[in-house]
Amino acid sequence: MDTLHQSFTVKFSYDVFFTSALFDPNNKLINDFLTGSNLSTSIKKILFVIDEGVTNTHPALVSQIKDYFIQHNQTQLVQDILIIPGGEPVKNDTRYLDQVLEAVNNHGIDRHSFVAAIGGGAVLDMVGYAATISHRGVKQIRIPTTVLSQNDSGIGVKNGINYFNKKNFLGTFSPPVAVFNDELFLSTLSDRDWRSGIAEAIKVALIKDQKFFIWLEENADLLAQRNRAAMNYQIWQCAKLHLEHIRGADPFESGSSRPLDFGHWSAHKLEYLTNFEIRHGEAVAMGIALDTVYSNLSGRLSTEESNRVLNLIQKLGFELTHPLLQVQQDNSPILLGLQEFREHLGGQLTITLLTAIGKGEEAHEIDPALVKKASEILQELNQQTAHNFSSSIL
């Protein structure tokens, strides 16, 4: 009998909104979204899951949300708002996933209702995964509260949890129905978290947009000094570049190419090796430094441009490297990260390197000897700078 051919396309679309004070009763943005998408006659429910780090710094948030939905009652708020820990632990322990699944079940959240996650990237990743696998997908809304999640992870199409000690071993590609970036959440971030997310802006500028890199150089001081307007522009531009990349190439990553992971192969491994004591963005800054110097040592990138990258990373207050990024021998833990990175993506090893500021290139082989040399150069630079900093303090 004849082979039957199946072929169809599925359209995905969503908006990333920028706002201030999302749950101010006078801010109609989220209510307009929720009621605008209500095409049927039945009342939709919305379940909120919030990062404990956010409720700690914004203790009035839960009551603000409840007040908001008393005023805007076309959508039925699930009164039992779920508070879960933030950061990587929420992706490491499946009991948090189960908590969200139980809430979806207990409160009768169906495929036309909403699960809204408020928090950092880890909470959004885990809740997005829970929403996607519940009833084959209830509608997920993302409300990222960190620089990193507002400019990168929170606005994209991926979710996941860690399993078998491997980052994002379980997960799916599943776009949200909307993202709300509220600048007010950024004001309470620690300096470390404020800075950390900017690493993704450096990354996307380096592989895609020379002009944005120059803007980052020119505005590094303002960003380091927590200037709000500069931060807002950085987030908007970085989010825009990420969204363009996703729709332009291969949204669900069927190929082996993943340029947005520039600097990430070593960063992912380093996060595990330090038991997530260093932030994702801090690890990415070090990973960018490593792959930039590697790009220079392998003859792809000029020394001048390589130095500009390292200068920007330092100007923003990042460390250039970490003792665990040093390569002692061929089986150094960090080199295993290369193999794990390949395995997670599958297919051929594909690492993005730089040929110029604003221009990435794919490489399929990485020379461990050059990785070793690059990490030594960075260690030395880092020590010199630390020394200089000490001198200037004395």
User: Using CB under 8 A as the criterion, which residues of the chain lie in contact with its own copies when the complex forms?
Assistant: 1-18, 40-42, 101-102, 105, 108, 110-113, 132-138, 155, 158, 160, 163-164, 166, 168-175, 232-233, 236, 239-240, 243, 246-247, 251-253, 256, 342-348
Phi, psi of 343 (to 5 degrees): -65, -40
Nearest approach, Cβ of residue 153 and its own copies (Å) = 14
Residue pair 88/117 in contact (Cβ under 8 Å)? The answer is no
Which alpha helices (H) appear in 25-88, and where do they start and end?
29-36, 52-57, 61-71
**Shorter beta-carbon distance to its own copies: residue 231 or 301:** 231
Nearer to its own copies, 12 or 215 (CB): 12
Written as one letter, the residue type at 282 is E
Comparing CB distances to its own copies, the nearer of 103 and 313 is: 103
- To its own copies, the closest distance from the beta carbon of 306 in angstroms equals 30
Instruction: Single out the residue of 310, 293, 21, 2 nearest to residue 143, CA to CA.
Output: 21
Q: Residue 174 or residue 326: which is nearer to its own copies going by CB?
A: 174
- Closer of 62 and 345 to its own copies (Cβ): 345
Q: Residue 126, exposed/middle/buried by CB under 10 A (0-12, 13-18, 19+)?
A: buried
Least CB distance to its own copies at residue 236 (A): 5
Q: If you search the block for the tokens 């990222």, which residue do you land on?
A: 144
- Euclidean distance between CA atoms 178 and 238, whole angstroms: 17
Judged by CB, which is closer to its own copies: 62, or 101?
Answer: 101
Burial class for 210, CB neighbours closer than 10 Å (0-12, 13-18, 19+): middle
Residues 6+ positions from 2 with CB-CB distance below 8 Å: none
Exposure string of 20-33, with b = 16+ CB inside 10 Å and e = fewer, is: eebbeeebebbbeb
**Residue 132 is encoded by which pair of tokens?**
């996607």
Give the span between the Cα atoms of 96 and 136, in whole angstroms. Answer: 19
Nearer to its own copies, 33 or 318 (CB): 33
Least separation in angstroms between residue 247's CB and its own copies is 4
Q: For the CB of residue 113, give the shortest distance to its own copies in the complex, in Å.
A: 6
Which amino acid, 96?
Answer: Y
3 state SS of 360: strand
Place of tokens 């825009």: 240
**Shortest spacing between CB 70 and its own copies, in angstroms:** 24
CB of 188 to its own copies, least distance (A): 20
Residue 367 CB, shortest distance to its own copies, in Å, is 19
Residue 343 or 380: which CB sits closer to its own copies?
Answer: 343
The C-alpha angle 224, 303, 273, rounded to 5 degrees, equals 60
Residue placing its CB nearer to its own copies in the complex, 8 or 299: 8
Closest approach, Cβ 138 to its own copies, in A, equals 7
Query: Distance between CA 267 and CA 282 in Å, rounded?
Result: 8
Angle between helices 228-248 and 198-208 (to 10 degrees): 50
